Structure 1
């Protein structure tokens, strides 16, 4: 019998999606499942984006340019300029989601067995992208006790070897919601310049920062032009997860030229999704103001409710729409599965994302979950009430 690859065997399953069969089974039994597990916003996609697709008169759905429409890339550059990020269309390659942008980045700058340092917990699919590229993830732990702030630079320096090619951060963070300060970004910039490394920043949640905090991009750091690579996406910004449009951005010409070869191998990004994404750039600021106000309100009520649960610890996010919660259980994976298989309250149960899958270090995060607060506030309150009762029952069995 033919065998699959070792790489395929090592490819990690998504901690966000692996419980889906249990959730579907619960629904078939008649339970209502409240989904706290996935960052699919319930905010409406901007009408201008949907109208651009509805009203288009395309007769032949042709390939687009490999690097994405020039007009669209020029508009992306104009969007960045408003954020005090100064790039040109030539610094941008449009990708099939931020996922492809990150895959292009790893393929462009790293060879098999090279190393990339990532503060953990981190977006679970980083493990998958690294495995696919044959790259070794070197984790550096951040702590819920410091709200998942950047670990000390001295700890990063201890991990750098001749195989280290890059440091990767997500800012604001998924799953933590932590927003790196300008000072933290500049510390990382100094470090990568000292050791001649790349700094990759996943900035897909740039728009979502709270309490007047400002996002500081690695592309704003003077002198970092040859080291900085940004991964971006329309998925969360415009509540367009299904569009699958993102981009890789760098002022390093060799990086862009090399990434372009990976882009050519997949031909082009989707045409209609680019049309919608280009139109979405016309979304007025009022849209984001209202969305941020709603997320702040949801975050506040979620954190307030969680803090009332005995034995529960929660980090307060400063951006994005996730938080990491530490539970009084030994194994959050087992608890999450039990919630779907054996527990309900008034016909309801909850689906969460166990946090161990957001770590690369074995054993870390086993008693933590990630919650995405992308639901209406009444649903969040109900979900926490369910969690509270479930914890009591689970720990009593």
Structure 2
């Protein structure tokens, strides 16, 4: 039988989706499963976006330009320039989700064997994108003790070699929810200028910043226009994950020219999705204000209940809709499977993502899980009741660092 490629063997499985068979089996057994494993919001998609699809009237469902329709790129320019990005439609390539934007950025800017430094834990699919492009991920650890703040710049410099071509950040962060400060972004600016690196910025969660905190994009810093590549998506902003519509933004014309060749190779992003995306830009601010309040409330519910549990520690994130919590367990992968396969409380259980899949460093995150607060408060409450009861009876329970971290955070 023919063998699959080494690349196929190296391609990592998604830590977010790999436990799905166990969740499906739990449901077949009659259990209610609270899905905290995946960032699929239950917030309704804006009405204007849905109406644009309902009112479509065309005779031919045609290709669109590889860079995206001019009408959509013009509309996106309105949105980004309200945020002081100072761009024009020629600075945008429309992509099939934010995932393709990251793929195109990597392929356009890095050669096989080149290195990208990424603070970890990080969005698990970055490993997959890098594997597809034969790029080497150089992880740099951030720590739960300080809420997963940006590691010191001196630690970045230890990793930089002649193969280092880029730094990739996500702010607000998936999976930790950490929001980089202006000072941290300024430090990154100075670093990429010093070593002439690209700075890839995944801004999928830009709208979700809490407690009056301010979102800072590298687009706001000035002086690094040729270094910065922003990747974005409608998935989270408009609760439209299934639209698979994103974009790559840069003022570096050489990157746009190279990226467009990769975009041409896959032909085009979807026409219907871009029609919906064009309408989405006119979503009123009141929509985001309501959503922000809802996520703030959910965050408060989840973090509060986690930190009240014996042996559990969870930092309070400044953005996105995720937390990474440290649990008194021996192995997050085992625990997340066990709670689906072997546990229920009042015929209910919880699906979480083991944090190990969000690290590249072997052994890191072994007692951490990522949870997405994408369910209403009542469901989050019930899910936390299940989790607390599960921790009481889990055979691999270990009293570890969590109590100390909790005490230090008080």
TM-score between the two structures when normalised by the length of structure 1: 0.99
- Alignment pair present for 1:339 and 2:328: no
Q: Deviations over 1:157-208 (max 9, x none)?
A: 1100000000000010000000001111111011011001100000010011
- Report the secondary structure of 1:313's partner residue: coil
TM-aligned CA deviation for residue 396 of structure 1: 7.2
Structure 1 residue ranges without an equivalent (≥5): none
Distance 1:252 1:150 in 2: 26
Distance 1:71 1:272 in 2: 13
- Report the secondary structure of 2:213's partner residue: coil
Distance 2:387 2:347 in 1: 14
Q: How does 1:216-235 map to 2 (within 5 A)?
A: 216-235=216-235
Partner of 2:368 in structure 1?
A: 368
Q: Deviations over 1:53-93 (max 9, x none)?
A: 10111111000111001111111111011111111100000
Distance 2:189 2:260 in 1: 25
TM-aligned CA deviation for residue 395 of structure 1: 3.6
TM-aligned CA deviation for residue 342 of structure 1: 0.6
Distance 1:210 1:304 in 2: 15
241-250 or 71-80, which deviates more: 71-80
Distance 1:282 1:151 in 2: 37
Q: How does 1:164-183 map to 2 (within 5 A)?
A: 164-183=164-183
Partner of 1:61 in structure 2?
A: 61
Distance 2:304 2:109 in 1: 43
Whether the 8 Å contact between 2:209 and 2:320 is mirrored in structure 1 is yes
TM-aligned CA deviation for residue 330 of structure 1: 1.0
Q: How does 1:142-291 map to 2 (within 5 A)?
A: 142-291=142-291
- Report the secondary structure of 2:237's partner residue: coil
Change (3 A) 1:57 1:304: same
Distance 1:221 1:395 in 2: 50
Partner of 2:21 in structure 1?
A: 21
Structure 2 residue ranges without an equivalent (≥5): 398-410
Distance 1:361 1:390 in 2: 28
Distance 2:183 2:395 in 1: 43
Distance 1:187 1:305 in 2: 35
Partner of 2:107 in structure 1?
A: 107
- Report the secondary structure of 1:236's partner residue: helix
Q: How does 1:45-60 map to 2 (within 5 A)?
A: 45-60=45-60
Distance 2:112 2:4 in 1: 19
Partner of 2:310 in structure 1?
A: 310
Partner of 1:31 in structure 2?
A: 31
Partner of 1:120 in structure 2?
A: 120
Distance 1:136 1:315 in 2: 30
- Report the secondary structure of 1:248's partner residue: strand
Partner of 2:324 in structure 1?
A: 324
Distance 1:276 1:341 in 2: 40
Q: Deviations over 1:324-371 (max 9, x none)?
A: 000000101100100111100111010000000000000000110000
Whether the 8 Å contact between 2:313 and 2:325 is mirrored in structure 1 is yes
Distance 1:337 1:204 in 2: 28
Distance 1:315 1:261 in 2: 42
Partner of 1:93 in structure 2?
A: 93
Q: How many residues align?
A: 397
- Report the secondary structure of 1:314's partner residue: coil
